[in-house]
Amino acid sequence: MKYFFISILVVCCMSLEAQTRTGELQGTIIDKMGRPLPGISVLIDGTKKGAATNFDGIYNLKSIVSGNYTLIVSGIGFKTEKLSIRINPDEITNRDIILIEDRSELSEVVIKGKTKAAKIEEKGFSVTAIETQKLKSQNLGLNSILTRTTGINVRTSGGVGSDYNYSLNGMSGNAIRFFIDGIPMDYFGSSYSINNLPVSLIDRIDIYKGVVPVSLGSDALGGAINLVTNQKISNFLEASYSFGSFNTHKIALHGQWQLKSGLTTKLSTFYTYSDNNYKVWGKGVHYADESTGFKAVEFTRDNPAERFNDDFQTTSAKLDIGFTQKKWADQFFLTLLASDTKKGIQTAQTMARVFGKVRNNEQVIMPSISYKKTNLITKGLDVNAFAGYTYTEGVLIDTSHVQYDWRGMEIGVRESGGEMGYDGKSEYTQKNQSQIYRLNTTYQLPSDFKLGFNYLYSTTRITGEDPFTPEYRIPYLEPQNIRSQFAGLSLETVKFNNKLRANAFVKYYGYNASINDLEYTDEWEIIEYKNKLNNWGGGFAASYRFSPELLIKTSLEQATRMPSPTEALGDGVTVNNNPFINPEQSFNVNLGTILGRYKLGSSRHGIKIAVNTFYRDVTDKLLFTVIDGQGNGEFRNIDRISGTGIELDFIYDFDYNFKFKLNGTYQDLRNNLEFDEDGRENIVYRDRMRNEPYFMANAGLDYNVSDYIQKNSKIFAYLQSSYTHEFFLRWPSLGSEENKSIVPSQLVFDAGIGYTFPSKKFILAVDIFNMFNEQVYDNYLLQKPGRAIFLKINYKITQQ
Amino acid sequence: MKNRELQNKMDIKFKIMKTNKLLKRALNCFFLALSITFVACSGDEPTCESSIWYADTDNDGLGDPNSTLSTCEQPEGYVSNSDDDSDALGPLNSKFTVGAAVDGEGYFVTTDNISSGTISIVGNGYEGWANLSVSVEGFLYNLNGDEGTLDKYEFTDSGLVKRDAISTTALLPGSFFRYIQDTGSGDLFLSNFPNEDGDAPYAIIDLETFTVEGHGLVNIPDVNGKDALWVNGLVKDNEIYFGSVYGDWATWTQIEDSLITVKFDYPSLTNPEILVSTASTGQTAGYRNNGTFKTENGDIYQYNLTSSHWYGHDELVGKPTVFTRIKDGDYDDYVLDVSASFSEPIAIWNAWYAGNDIVYASVVKEADITVWGDLKINTNTLVEVNLATKTVTELNIPKASYVDIFNLNCVENGKFYLPVSISGGEANIYQIDINGGANGFQKGAVLDGSNVFVNSLHRNF
C-alpha cells in the first residue's frame, strides 16, 4: 500500500519539472469569464502541428522549428482566433488566449457540450455538473462518483447491483428523479439505471438540488439527476473490460458511425457480472444449530462469513439507427434498448435473515424514436421530441424449500416453501407496459429572452401474477393503469453583458389512475377505483456575476411529487386505495455563491470556493397508515419535514493539473409534524430526521501528468476519502444515547491511477476501493464490501 | 471471555450483597437477643409488650410477612404491617419495565417507581419492543428482529446487560416469533399463528440453562373444514391450550359458530384435542395479549372477540361477549355473559388477569367505532370483572385507548397498575385497588403522553 502512495507522489513531483530543449508553445485557452475551455483546436498554420486543449483548457505543442507563425485557435461555439507568434529555440513560449463566444453557433455549443458543466452551474439553479471525462477510463460507477459530490449521499445495501437510495440535500427516495438526456429513467428498467450504467456512456451528470428546470419534466420534489450521454457526432468505437475483486467483470462496448449520407448508427452495450461474495461479520451475521445449542455464534473479522447468494449479472444493449446533420433533422433516431438482469437476493432488511436461493430477474425491451432540430421552420426554434414504449417483466422467485444460514449450509426445510415469505413459496411476476411521449422546445425571443416548453405524457399498466400464491394475495392481479402529464413553461434571459441570468417557470402536473381491485363482500368481486389529480407549481432561478471571480445565485421552487400508482390506488393486497390522496409538496430555496478561480501569486496556483445554503419545507408527505387489524393500510398526506443546510466546495489547483478538492455538507432537516394522524401531539416534533445522514465530507487529490514514462502519454491519479458522520437509525431524542442503534461513521479511502498510452487508444486503469478494509455500513446492519481492487483496459478507435 | 468475567464479578457482588444481608440480620438478631436478655435480667425496668415487626427491605412502607422480628420498639428497616407481597429488592431502577410505541418504533424504560413522579422515554431507556419480551427472575428475554435472536439481558444496577442469545432465525428459518410467554414452569414458549396449512411455529426455551428444549411447527388441525386463522397458546402443567378463531383463510369469513380451543400435550405438542363451547362464537386467542389465562387454582378462563371491526364484516353481530371456563381439561358450563351488562353491542378487545378471580377488560361499544382509528382514541372503557361472583363493574377511569396494550403484568400489594393514555389529554399510570369498586383508583406516575403509547407494563421484582 505504501508503495502505491509513494509511486503517486513520485509521479507528481517528477512531472512538475517537465523540461524540453526544443522550441515549445503552451498556454491556456479561456473564455471571457476566465473559464478554461477544453477541446479547443490549436493549429500552427502551414504546418501539421496541432493540438487540442485538455479538460483544463491547456494546450502544448512541442518540437517546433523556430520562426514566425500564425496560430489558428478554433472551437465550436467560439469565434476563430488567428494570431502571430514567434517560437525561439530552446524556449517555451507561453500564450494564453481568450476566445469570444459565437452567438450564431450557441445552440450547437449546447449540443456539443463544450464547457457545459461550468455553464450549467452559472444558470442560477443549485446545480452541480460533473464532467466524467477523466473518470471514464477508471473502474468507477456512477454511484461512487456521485456520492463524492457535495450534498449527495448514496446509500447502497451491498455490492454491485445492490439496492441504492439517493439523498439530495436531505431529501431521498422517490423525491429524487433520474433522467437520461431529459427522459425520466423510470421507464428504462433496472439495468439501464444510475446503478449500472457504465460511466463511459455518460459525458456529464447534472445534479439539480431542490429546483429543477422544466426541461426535466417530472415531479421531482427534492431534485433531479440528469445523465447526459455523448452527443458529439464523431466516428469511434470504444471498448473496455474491467475485472477484479469478488469475481467482478464489466465489459462495455460503444461506438458511433456516420456515413456521408448522414446515416448514423450508435451502439452502446454493456455486461456486468459479480459474485459479490465479500466477507461479512458482526451483528446479525451468526449461525446456530444443535451443536451450539442454538446459541447464536457470531462471525468475526478474523473468521468472517462469505456472501453466497448475491451474484449479479446484467446485459444491456442499445442500438440507434438514424440520420444526423441533415437539413430536416440534426438528429433522427430509431432506438431499441433491451436488457436482462439476474441477481441473487442474499438478505432481508438486515443481515439477520439470509437467503440461499431467492432470485430476482428482469427483462426490458424498449423501442423509441427521437428527433432533434435547431431552427425548425423559423430561426430560433429548437425542437427535441421523443416517443417510446417499454415492456418490463420482473420476477421474484422464492420457491426454495431449503433454508440457509451464514455458513451457506442447509439448516432446514419448510414444507410450504419460500425463504422470504411467511406464507409459503411464491414466484411473483410483474409486467409493466409504459408509453412515454416528450416534446421539448425552446424559442429565442428578441431582447435575449428565450422561451422553453416541455411536455411529457406517459401511461403505465401494471399487472401481477403468481402461480403459487392464492389470488387474493397477488398484487396487481387485476391491472392498474396510470396516465400522467407534465407541462412546463420557462422564460429565460441573459442580460447586462452576460452578468445576469434568470429563468422563471411554471409547471403543471396531471394524473389519472385506475385500478381493478379484487375485493370480498359477499363474494369475490372486481371493483374499479379511479383517481384524478391536478397540481400547479413554479419557481425561478437567477445568477449575477459581479466580477469574473464572483457569482451569486439563487433559486426557489414550489415543487410537487405526485403519488405513485401504488400510493394512490393500492396494490390490491395490503395497500388500499385512497381516493382523497394529494401530491406531496415542498417549498425549496437555494442561495449560493461561487468565488474564483482566484490566482494565488503566480497564475499557476488557483483556488475556487463555492458555498450554497438551502431551505426545504415538505408538507403533505405520504405516510403508510394502518387502517385495520390485519395490518392493511393506505397512504395518507400526513408527514411534514423542514430544515436548512449548507454545502461547501473548495478546490485548490496547481496549473489545473494538480487538484486538491474538499467538500462538506451539513444539513439540519427536522420532523415538522406537530400533531399525528390521530390529533395527538407529536413527541418527536422538531427532532432531526431519523435514519438520514446529516454530515458528509469528501476530500481528494487529482493529478494529471503528461509525457511521463512515454512521450505523449498521460497519467491520471487520484486519492479520495469520503466521510459520513454516524447517525441514529431511530428518532434521536428517544431512548438513552448509549443504548441507541447507530449507523456508524464511515471513512473510506479510494485511489486509482490511469495510464493513457501515446497512441491515445489504450488506457490502463487500476482502482482500489475501501483501501483500509474498513467494515462499512450505509444502512443499519447491512455491511458493504471491504477492500476491492479492479483493473480496467480501455481501447478506443477514433476516426475524425 | 469478558462476559464471563463480568458474570463472575456480578455473581460475587451478588453473593457479597447476600452475605451483607445475612450479616445484618444476624447482627440485628444478636443485638435483639442481647437486649432481650438484658431486659429479662433487669427486674427493675418496666416490661413492655413486644410486637411483631416485618422487614421492609424495599423501603415502600409495606412489610414482608415472611421476615419478622419480635421486639418492643420498631427496629430500623421494619414496619408493623405485613402487606408487602414482594419485598425483594432488585438492582437499581429495575423494578418495573414500561414499554412504549411511538411512530412505529418501540422503546422501554425501567424504573423503581410507577406510583409517582414522571416516566419518560425522552433521552432515557432502550430501543426495542418490551411488549415482545418477558421478564423472569432478574432477566429480560427480548425478541430481537434486527439480529434474528432471542436475547437474554440481566437487570443490573447499571442497567440491562446482554448475557446470551439464541438464534431464532436458526430455530425458525424464514419466519419469526410473534409471541413470547413465560409458562411459569421454568421455560419460555415462543410462537406465531399458523400459516395457510395450519402450521404454527414454536420453540420452547429452558430458562435455567437458556437452551432450546424443542422447536418446530405444530399443526393446528382444521375444524369442520375450516382453517385456524389465529391462535395463541397457554401452557398449564403438561398441557397447552390454544385459543383460536376458525374460518375461511382467504376472506376471514364463515367464522366457526362456536368457541374453539385446541389442547395439546406439553412440551411434546402431540395429541391435539378440539375443545368446543357453544356459549358464543369468535376469537378466543385474544388480540394484543393472550385471550386465554389461568387462575391460581388452575382453572382456565377465556373471553371472545366478536367485533365486526376486527373481522371486517358483521357475521358475528348479536353474538355475546362471554367469559368461559376450561376445567379439568375441557370447557365446563361456566358462562359469564358480559354483553348482558350493557344495553348496546360491545366487544372486549383485551383482558388482563389480576389475581383473585379479578380480570380487567377493555370494553369498546361497537357503535363508537366507525373507522379503525377510532379504537385508538378515547373509546375504550375499563371494566373489572369478578369471575367468581360474575359481576361486571365499569370503572370511572377516563375513557382512553387500551386495545394496543400487550403485556400488563403488574400487580403489587392488591393494586393493579394500568397505563392510561388519553388522546389529547394527559397520560398516567393508574393504580387500581383490586376489587375496589368503580372509584377505587388513583393516578400514579406521569407518562409522556402525546403520541407515546405505553403498550406494556411489567413488574420485574
Q: Is the pLDDT of residue A107 over 50?
A: no
Residue A198 within any structural domain of the chain: no
Interchain proximity A293–B126, CB inside 8 Å: no
Q: Is the pLDDT of residue A629 over 80?
A: no
Beta strand pairing call for B133-136 and B239-247: unpaired
A631 touches chain B (CB under 8 A): no
Residue A729 within any structural domain of the chain: yes
Q: Would you place residue A124 in the very low, low, confident or very high pLDDT band (cuts 50, 70, 90)? A: confident
Here the ipTM equals 0.84
Give the separation between CA A360 and CA A348, rounded to whole angstroms: 13
Cβ neighbours of residue A229 under 8 Å, at least 6 residues apart? Answer: A180, A181, A201, A202, A203, A268
- Residue A39's nearest CA partner among A95, A113, A97 is A113
Structural domains in chain A (count): 2
pLDDT at A33: 63
Interchain proximity B146–A678, CB inside 8 Å: no
B166 touches chain A (CB under 8 A): yes
Spell out which residues of chain A touch residue B210, defining contact as CB-CB under 8 Å: 295
Say yes or no: A71 and A129 in one domain: no
Q: Would you place residue A19 in the very low, low, confident or very high pLDDT band (cuts 50, 70, 90)? A: very low
Q: Which of B146, B371, B372 is opposite residue A284, by nearest beta carbon?
A: B146
Q: Would you place residue A67 in the very low, low, confident or very high pLDDT band (cuts 50, 70, 90)? A: confident
Which pLDDT tens digit goes with each residue over B193-224?
Answer: 898 889 999 999 999 999 999 999 999 999 99
Local structure of A174: helix, strand or coil: helix
pLDDT at A779: 93
Average pLDDT over residues B145-151: 92
Q: Which of A352, A415, A681 is opposite residue B169, by nearest beta carbon?
A: A352
Interchain proximity B121–A741, CB inside 8 Å: no
Say yes or no: A732 and A615 in one domain: yes
Say yes or no: A39 and A143 in one domain: no
As a whole-number percent, the residues of chain A with pLDDT over 70 amount to 95
Say yes or no: A70 and A143 in one domain: no
Question: To 10 degrees, the CA torsion angle through B88, B93, B94, B99?
Answer: 140
Which pLDDT tens digit goes with each residue over A646-656?
Answer: 999 999 999 88
Q: Would you place residue B29 in the very low, low, confident or very high pLDDT band (cuts 50, 70, 90)? A: low
Interchain proximity B169–A472, CB inside 8 Å: no
Q: Is the pLDDT of residue A342 over 80?
A: yes
Mean pLDDT across chain B: 89
Residue A42 within any structural domain of the chain: yes
- The whole-angstrom distance between B212's CA and the closest CA on chain A is 7
pLDDT at B140: 96
Average pLDDT over residues A191-214: 93
Q: Return the amino acid letter for A94.
A: N
**pTM of the predicted protein model:** 0.83
Residue A281's closest chain B neighbor by CA? Answer: B147
Interchain proximity B196–A416, CB inside 8 Å: yes
Q: Pick the last residue of a domain from A60, A81, A101.
A: A101
pLDDT at A153: 93
Q: Would you place residue B460 in the very low, low, confident or very high pLDDT band (cuts 50, 70, 90)? A: very high
Q: Which residue has better confidence, A412 or B296?
A: B296
Interchain proximity B167–A731, CB inside 8 Å: no
Say yes or no: A280 and A332 in one domain: yes
pLDDT at A413: 87
Say yes or no: A462 and A503 in one domain: yes
Residue A189 within any structural domain of the chain: no
Give the separation between CA B153 and CA A614, rounded to whole angstroms: 45
Mean pLDDT across chain A: 89
Residue B377's closest chain A neighbor by CA? Answer: A678
Which pLDDT tens digit goes with each residue over A140-151?
Answer: 999 999 999 999
Average pLDDT over residues A724-730: 96
Interchain proximity B196–A626, CB inside 8 Å: no
pLDDT at A677: 81
Say yes or no: A667 and A527 in one domain: yes
Say yes or no: A97 and A124 in one domain: no
Average pLDDT over residues B375-404: 95
DSSP string over A33-97? TS-B-TT-EEEETTSS-EEE--TTSEEEE-SPPSEEEEEEEE-TTB--EEEEEEE-TT-EEE--E
Whether the CB-CB separation of A247 and A273 falls below 8 Å is answered with yes
Give the separation between CA A571 and CA A476, rounded to whole angstroms: 6
Spell out which residues of chain A touch residue B447, defining contact as CB-CB under 8 Å: none
- The whole-angstrom distance between B275's CA and the closest CA on chain A is 26
Average pLDDT over residues A433-453: 95
Give the separation between CA A242 and CA A236, rounded to whole angstroms: 20
For residue A587, the domain's CATH number is: 2.40.170.20
Distance of CA A795 to the CA centre of its chain: 24
Q: Would you place residue A4 in the very low, low, confident or very high pLDDT band (cuts 50, 70, 90)? A: very low
Spell out which residues of chain B touch residue A734, defining contact as CB-CB under 8 Å: 102, 105, 107, 121-123, 125, 127
Say yes or no: A13 and A152 in one domain: no
Range of weakest confidence among A183-192, A514-523, A601-610, A741-750: A514-523
Interface test with B, best of A736, A779, A781, A783 (most B CBs within 10 A): A736
Q: A184-221 burial, b for 16+ CB within 10 Å, e for fewer?
A: bbbbbbbbbbbbbbbbbbbbbbbbbbbbbbbbbbbbbb
Interchain proximity A422–B376, CB inside 8 Å: no
Say yes or no: A549 and A575 in one domain: yes
Which structural domain, as residue segments, surrounds residue A486? 108-156+231-799
DSSP string over A666-722? EEEEEE--SB-TTS-B-TTTTPBPTT---EEEEEEEEEEEESSSSTT-EEEEEEEEE
Average pLDDT over residues A560-578: 84
Give the separation between CA A744 and CA A782, rounded to whole angstroms: 11
Say yes or no: A385 and A302 in one domain: yes
Q: Which of B103, B176, B217 is opposite residue A731, by nearest beta carbon?
A: B103
List, as ranges, residues 213-272 from B with C-beta within 8 Å of A: 215, 217, 249-253
Q: Which residue has better confidence, A81 or B449?
A: B449
Q: Is the pLDDT of residue B115 over 80?
A: yes
**Partner residues linked to B352 by β-bridges:** B360
Distance of CA A500 to the CA centre of its chain: 29
pLDDT at B22: 53
Q: Would you place residue B43 in the very low, low, confident or very high pLDDT band (cuts 50, 70, 90)? A: very low
List, as ranges, residues 139-158 from B with C-beta within 8 Å of A: 145-149
Q: Would you place residue A105 in the very low, low, confident or very high pLDDT band (cuts 50, 70, 90)? A: very low
Q: What is the CA radius of gyration of chain B?
A: 24
Local structure of A4: helix, strand or coil: helix
Average pLDDT over residues A613-632: 87
Q: Would you place residue B174 in the very low, low, confident or very high pLDDT band (cuts 50, 70, 90)? A: low
A407 touches chain B (CB under 8 A): no
Q: Is the pLDDT of residue A507 over 70?
A: yes
- The whole-angstrom distance between B276's CA and the closest CA on chain A is 25
Give the separation between CA B456 and CA B459, rounded to whole angstroms: 10
Q: Is the pLDDT of residue A520 over 80?
A: no
For residue A17, the domain's CATH number is: 2.60.40.1120
Q: Residue A642: what are its φ and ψ, rounded to 5°?
A: -150, 160
Q: A382-392 burial, b for 16+ CB within 10 Å, e for fewer?
A: bbbbbebebeb
Average pLDDT over residues A655-684: 92
pLDDT at A576: 85
As a whole-number percent, the residues of chain B with pLDDT over 90 amount to 72
pLDDT at B26: 55
Say yes or no: A19 and A69 in one domain: yes
Interchain proximity A286–B149, CB inside 8 Å: yes
Q: Is the pLDDT of residue B44 over 80?
A: no
